[in-house]
Amino acid sequence: MKDIILTGDRPTGRLHLGHYVGSLKNRVKMQNEASYEKMYVMIADSQALTDNFDNPGKIRENLVEVALDYLSVGLDPNKVTFFVQSQIPELTELTFYFLNLVTLSRLERNPTVKSEIKLRNFENSLPAGFLIYPVSQAADILLFDANIIPVGEDQEPMIEQAREIARSFNNIYGKTFVEPKAVLPEAKIARRMPGIDGGAKMSKSLGNAIYLADDKKTIKKKVMSMYTDPNHINIDDPGKVEGNIVFTYLDVFSKPEHFEKFLPDYENLDALKDHYRKGGLGDVKCKKFLIKVLEEELEPIRQRRMEYEKDLSKVFKILEEGTAKARKVGEEKVSQVKKAMGINYFEDTDLIKSLEEKYK
């Protein structure tokens, strides 16, 4: 069986370098490997509403931002089916049937949901829709028979719940779903890209993110304000590379040819690190190099974004066509589900016949 890959994002903001390193880059790589049968990328707007129900404008606004980010990093609508969650009613339908297979206490034990409840101060007024979003996420995955789910670590409990739901449904109603598998990024750094302020994970709410759509000036400003080694005060002081965000980013983004091109005094990153550790190398020089390295990566993305920004009707067409395609698949699956559950009354030609037998 060939793989069916599915991933998604909540449209709550523009995507940043953390998303890029943690998943978008890998999605583009997967898309080009062609060893899969289908690849879906979903904009999870219904899920985003579970904790933004009082601010729908934010979701509406960011739908197009996220779509632009997808297209600008090189996800290709000819290879990937993009779709919008809320426009597939079959997802809601499946969620409703799945809810019977999950207990409240199981939902309350989901570690990601648990920490999100705290984070959002939902302890005393937990919206039911928020608590059950893992069930809706299981529907996202299972409706499309997706078996490979590339996600971050925090999403593992969601995939585990989807597996349990699939198993439970199959046990009760007969084999209908495949059990999906979470695929985590290999590189450790990709699992937790730090923000420009140091230790914490890059995130919109912490205000420490570099966005894919940031312009050149903003990138420059953000890199210049980056956390380095607080004890590296004078150029001649020995510096620390570990925990120094400039070097963390160089680890991720710099390539050997960047040294030749922008910093020919150093053979490679190790040579630059050695000099920094010994002392005699200033932060500004390293930061200026990082700006050039990031620009190499981000400029083509920015260009592609600008092209799509000029043609928004094309962007919406891509979403609409992808959604229509996904919906066909979803309709097919739901009719299978209803048949398995015996609630396909009007499609079941044998039903009347067998009743006639009974009432003869």
153 is in an annotated binding site: yes
Q: Which stretch binds ligand TRP (CB under 6 A): 1-9, 96-104, 183-191, 292-300?
A: 1-9
* Residue span 54-93 as binding mask against ligand TRP, x where in contact by CB under 6 A, dash where not: ----------------------------------------
* Residue span 180-199 as binding mask against ligand TRP, x where in contact by CB under 6 A, dash where not: --------------------
User: Please, which residues have CB within 8 angstroms of residue 214's CB and are 6 or more apart in sequence?
Assistant: 222, 298
Residues in region 270-329 near ligand TRP by CB under 6 A? none
Is there binding between residue 137 and ligand TRP (CB under 6 A)?
yes
Q: What is the smallest separation between the CB atom of 156 and ligand TRP, expressed in angstroms?
A: 11
User: Please, which residues have CB within 8 angstroms of residue 196's CB and are 6 or more apart in sequence?
Assistant: 202, 208, 209, 210, 222, 223, 225, 226, 227, 245
Give phi and psi for 79, each to the nearest 5. -110, -30
221: number of Cβ within 10 Å: 13
204 is in an annotated binding site: yes
Q: Which stretch binds ligand TRP (CB under 6 A): 97-105, 135-143, 296-304, 326-334?
A: 135-143
Is there binding between residue 110 and ligand TRP (CB under 6 A)?
no
* Residue span 39-58 as binding mask against ligand TRP, x where in contact by CB under 6 A, dash where not: -----x--x-----------
Q: Which is nearer to ligand TRP, 9 or 214 (CB)?
A: 9
224 is in an annotated binding site: no
Binding site for ligand TRP (CB under 6 A): 6-10, 44, 47, 137, 140-141, 149, 151, 155
Please report, in range form, the residues annotated as the binding site for ATP: 10-12, 18-19, 152-154, 201-205
Please report, in range form, the residues annotated as the binding site: 10-12, 18-19, 140, 152-154, 201-205
